Amino acid sequence: MMEIVIDILSWGFILAGVFFVFIGTLGMLRLPDFYTRLHAAGITDTMGMELLLIGMMLQAGWSLATVKLLMISLFIFFTSPTATHALANAANSVGLRPYGVPEKDLRRTSKEDV
């Protein structure tokens, strides 16, 4: 009885994780601008990754594999926003501008950015 409940739960988590990974990557392929693509890639890195790893943790049970999965999920949970921030900061500092924002609404960081 307990195995069936755990199987159904982990099926749900893994299918939801695959769905979010697919949605995030579809957004990364289809959205019009670098910053919107950055937002779509964040969906893959948080929701899809966490749901997939929780599904795998349910299958692994109480073992060393669960501890390793927890470590992977913690590392990605902290490093992915850091990498995203570094990427957005680098793109902004070389003058890549957001799509669809009027020119007068952009705060300029220096004179030669115009």
Q: Under the rule (CB under 8 A), what is the footprint of another protein?
A: 7, 10-11, 14-15, 17-18, 21-22, 24-26, 28-29, 34, 37-38, 41, 44-45, 48-49, 52-53, 55-56, 59-60, 63-65, 68-69, 71-72, 75-76, 79-80, 82-83, 86-87, 90-91, 96
CA-based nearest residue to 13, from 55, 69, 66, 72: 55
Write down the least CB distance from residue 14 to another protein, Å. 5
Question: How far, in Å, CA of 24 to CA of 40, rounded?
Answer: 5
Q: Which residue reads 């289809």 in tokens?
A: 30
